[in-house]
Structure 1
Amino acid sequence: MSEFEPRDEYRDLFENAPCGYLTIGSDGRITKVNATLTAWTGIEKDKFAGRRLHQFLNIAGRIYYETHIAPLLRMQGFFNEFALDFETAAGERLAVIANAAERRDGDGTLLFTAVVVIKATDRRRYERQLVDSRTELQKGLATERETAKLREQFIAVLGHDLRNPLAAISAGARILQRSGALQEHKHLRVLDMINTTVTRMSDLIDHILDFARGRLGGGITLSRDAKPLEPVLEQVVDELRTASPQRVIETTFELTERVNCDRTRIGQLLSNLIGNALTHGAADQPVRVGAKTDSGKFKLWVANAGEPIPAAAMERLFEPFFRGDVRDSRQGLGLGLHICWQIAQAHGGRLDVTSTPDETRFVFTMPLVP
C-alpha cells in the first residue's frame, strides 16, 4: 500500500478537510478554495477564483459583511464565529460559521487572508428556534399583561358596577317601608321579597368577587386583628335565625383567648357553613354551631343531621361551581364551600368535613397566632 508524500497529505488536508477553506489575496479577491466548500455550495473552483467573498453571500450577508465584518478584519486582522449565509448554485441558503485571520510577512505586508467556514445548519436552526421561542414568550407575557388588565376590570365590574344598582333597589325598598306609602299586606310582602332578593344577589356577588380574587388575582385578602370574635359569630347566627325562623340553630361558644384573624372573613365562613347546613340538613333537626380556643388553636364547627354526603361528592366538595345533587335554587353558584376553603387557607388553617348517617360536620381549625 502506497503512502502519501507530505505534500500530498497537506493537499488532501486542504481539499478534503471537514470544513470549508478559502484564501483571499491582498487585493480582496479569492485565490484558493478547497473541494469541501465547492461540494457544499455546488459552485466550481474557477467560479470562486478572482471574485470577492461577499459575492457568494445572500443579500443580508453581503450588507453585514461590508458594514461589519470587513471593517473589523481590516482593523484587527481577524474575526471569529460570524454567522453567514452562502448562496449555493441551486439558489439555496447554506448557513455557516466563519473565522478568518490575516497572514503577513516579517515587514507586516499582507500576504493573504485565510477563511475557514463550518456548516452550521443545525446550530442556526436551533438559534432560530430560540429566537422564535423568545418571541412567543414575549407574546405570552404581553397576553398575560392584557389578561391581568382584563382581570382587574372584571373585578372592578363585580365590585362596583353590579353593586350600585343593587344598592339603589335596596335603598328604594327601605324608603317605601319607612314612609308607610304601601300599607296593604301584599305590598309589604313584595318589599320583603325585594329586600331578600337583594341580599341574596349581594351574597352571590361577594362569592364571585372572592372567587375572582382567589383564582385570578392575589388570593383572599385579610385584615387581621385580635378584637373579640364572639360578637361577630353571634351576629351571623342571629341573622340566619331571622332569615330562617322555622329552623333551630344551637350555639356553644367557648372563646377564652383572643383570635388573631379577619373577623369579617370568619363571619363569612360561618355564614356560608350554616347556610349550607340549613340547605342540606334535616329540616326537623337543629343545626349545631360551636367555637372554642384550646392548645393555641381556634376551632369553629357547624354540624347538621340528615343524609350523608356521597363519597364521590366528598372528593370535589371544595371545588368551585360544584353543587352536588341540586335540591333547590337556594344553592346558588356552588362557590360557598370553595370560598370557605380559601378563607381557611388564607388564615393558615384548614377546613375538614366528616359525614355519616348521624351527622355531617365541617370543622375549621387555625392557629391563634399567625
Structure 2
Amino acid sequence: MPGDPHGTPTEDFEDLYENAPCGYLSLRPDGRIFKSNATLSGWIGFSQAELLGKKLHELLTIAGRVFYETHFSPLLRMQGFFNEVALDLVTKDGKKLPVLANAMERRDDAGNLLFTRVTIFQAAQRRRYERNLVDLRTAAEAAKGEAIAAKVLAEAGLTEEQAVAELREQFIAVLGHDLRNPLASINAGTRMLLQEELSDRAQKIVALMQGSVSRMSDLIDNVLDFAQGRLGGGITVALDAREPLEPVLQQVVDELRVGSPSRLIETHFKITHKVYCDRGRIGQLASNLLGNALTHGAADTPIQFLASTTGEKLEISVVNGGDPIPPEAMNRLFHPFFRGDGRDSPQGLGLGLHIASEIAKAHDGTLVVASSPVETRFTFQMPLEPDGEG
C-alpha cells in the first residue's frame, strides 16, 4: 500500500469501498441498485453485475419483503433514514444471511431524491446468541430428570429461570425501543397532513390517528418503564419542588379529554404546599389511573380526579362508577400484565396500574384501591418532602 515519506500508509478509497468490513448498496430513486461493493457480493454470492437493476426487497426472504415494504420503506420515505433494521438476505444458493441494515436518503436542494445509501452488517453471531438462549430452555425442558436439566443449564452458566427471564426482559426492552421509530414517523405524518387543506372527514380521521399515536406512545412508555424496572432495579425519579404540580395534572386531564370527548372528568385540585416529586412521573401515574377509569368505568358516570395536600402528604384520588372489581382480582391488580376477570380491554397491556404502583413506591408513597357497587377509588399518597429534607 502506498505511503507518505514518514511511513504512514494512505488509503486507497476505491479499495476501502470495495473491501470494507461491511456491505454497501446505492439505490436509484426507483429503488433499484446501481452500485454495490465486493464485500456484499462475497457474502451473498451474486456478482456486482448481477445486482445491478435489482431492488433491495428482491434479496430478502418472503416475510422480509412484506415487512420491508409495509414498515421500513415507508419509514425511510417519511424520515429519510432508518438504523439497525434486522433483515434476512437470501444468498445465491438459497441460504439465509442474517444482517443489520442502515439506510439514508440523499436529496438535492429542492428536496428531490437523488439516491439512497444502504450499509449492511452481518448479524449471524447476534442471532446465534439469541437462538442459544431459546435452545437452552428447550434442552432443559427436554432433559429427563432434574439432575440432567440442572447439568445442561449449569454448563451454560445460567439457570432456566435466569435464561427465560433475561430473554423476556431484553425482548420487552428492545421491542419498546424499536417501536418508537415507526410511531414517530406516523406522528410526523399526521402533523404534516394537518398543515394541508383537508376535508372535514379527513380532519376527523387524522384526529383519530393522533389519538391512537398518543395511546401507543403511552403503551410504549409503560413497556420501557417496565423493562427498566425489571432490568435496572426499579423506576428512577428526580425529586424537585421548584415547579408547581397542578399544571401537570391539568395537562393530563386536558389530553385525556381530547381522546375521550364524550366522557366527563371532574377535577378538584387544592395543592397548597410544595411537593418534592418527579412531576413527569406523577403525571404518568395520574394518566395511567385516569386511563384505567376511562376504560373500565361506567360511561354515564363522571370520573372524579382529586388532588390535594393535607398535613404532610400529597393525596391523589381517581374515582369512577361501574361494576366493582371482583374480589379475586384485587390481590393481583397491580401485577404486570394483569387486567382482571371481567375487566379486560383490548386497548392495554395490563401494565398501567403496575407502573403507577412502581412510581408510588419510588416516591416512598402508597397506591391502594377500594371498590364497591357504588364506586371504585384509587388513592395515591406520598410525603411532601423526602426523608432528610427540612
Q: TM-score, normalised by structure 2?
A: 0.55
Taking the aligned partners of 2:373 and 2:319, their CA distance within structure 1 comes to 12
In structure 2, the CA distance between the partners of 1:243 and 1:252, relative to structure 1 (3 Å rule), is same
Of 352, 360, 364, the residue aligned with 2:380 is: 364
Aligned twin of 1:118: none
Equivalence map 1:269-348=2 (5 Å): 269-325=285-341, 329-348=345-364
Matched, 1:158 2:176: yes
Taking the aligned partners of 2:172 and 2:350, their CA distance within structure 1 comes to 20
Residue deviations 1:190-209, cap 9 Å, x none? 32222122222111111111
Matched, 1:171 2:192: no
The residue matched to 1:179 in structure 2 has which SS? coil
Q: CA deviation at 1:153?
A: 7.7
Taking the aligned partners of 2:189 and 2:347, their CA distance within structure 1 comes to 27
Q: TM-score, normalised by structure 1?
A: 0.58
Taking the aligned partners of 1:261 and 1:145, their CA distance within structure 2 comes to 36
Aligned twin of 1:212: 227
Q: How many residues align?
A: 236
Q: CA deviation at 1:210?
A: 1.0
Taking the aligned partners of 1:352 and 1:336, their CA distance within structure 2 comes to 14
Matched, 1:190 2:205: yes
Matched, 1:240 2:242: no
Contact 1:151–1:217 (CA under 8 A) maintained in structure 2: no
Matched, 1:352 2:358: no
Taking the aligned partners of 1:289 and 1:154, their CA distance within structure 2 comes to 32
Taking the aligned partners of 1:331 and 1:156, their CA distance within structure 2 comes to 21
Equivalence map 1:121-136=2 (5 Å): 136=154
Taking the aligned partners of 1:328 and 1:138, their CA distance within structure 2 comes to 39
Taking the aligned partners of 1:158 and 1:345, their CA distance within structure 2 comes to 23
Taking the aligned partners of 2:207 and 2:191, their CA distance within structure 1 comes to 9
The residue matched to 1:323 in structure 2 has which SS? coil
Aligned twin of 2:237: 222
Identity of matched residues, %: 55
Q: CA deviation at 1:331?
A: 3.8
The residue matched to 1:253 in structure 2 has which SS? strand
Taking the aligned partners of 1:203 and 1:310, their CA distance within structure 2 comes to 26
Of 251, 266, 273, the residue aligned with 2:267 is: 251
Q: CA deviation at 1:136?
A: 4.4
Taking the aligned partners of 2:324 and 2:168, their CA distance within structure 1 comes to 41
Contact 2:190–2:210 (CA under 8 A) maintained in structure 1: yes
Aligned twin of 1:123: none
What is the aligned-residue RMSD (CA, Å)? 2.9
In structure 2, the CA distance between the partners of 1:138 and 1:321, relative to structure 1 (3 Å rule), is closer
In structure 2, the CA distance between the partners of 1:240 and 1:147, relative to structure 1 (3 Å rule), is closer
Q: What is the letter of the counterpart of residue 295 of structure 1?
A: G
Taking the aligned partners of 1:213 and 1:286, their CA distance within structure 2 comes to 35
Instruction: Identify unmatched segments of 5+ residues in structure 1.
Output: 1-131
Q: CA deviation at 1:329?
A: 4.1
Of 178, 189, 214, the residue aligned with 1:199 is: 214
In structure 2, the CA distance between the partners of 1:148 and 1:305, relative to structure 1 (3 Å rule), is closer
Contact 2:316–2:381 (CA under 8 A) maintained in structure 1: yes
Contact 2:170–2:227 (CA under 8 A) maintained in structure 1: no
Over 6 Å off, 4+ runs: 143-150
Taking the aligned partners of 1:311 and 1:149, their CA distance within structure 2 comes to 33
Instruction: Identify unmatched segments of 5+ residues in structure 2.
Output: 1-149
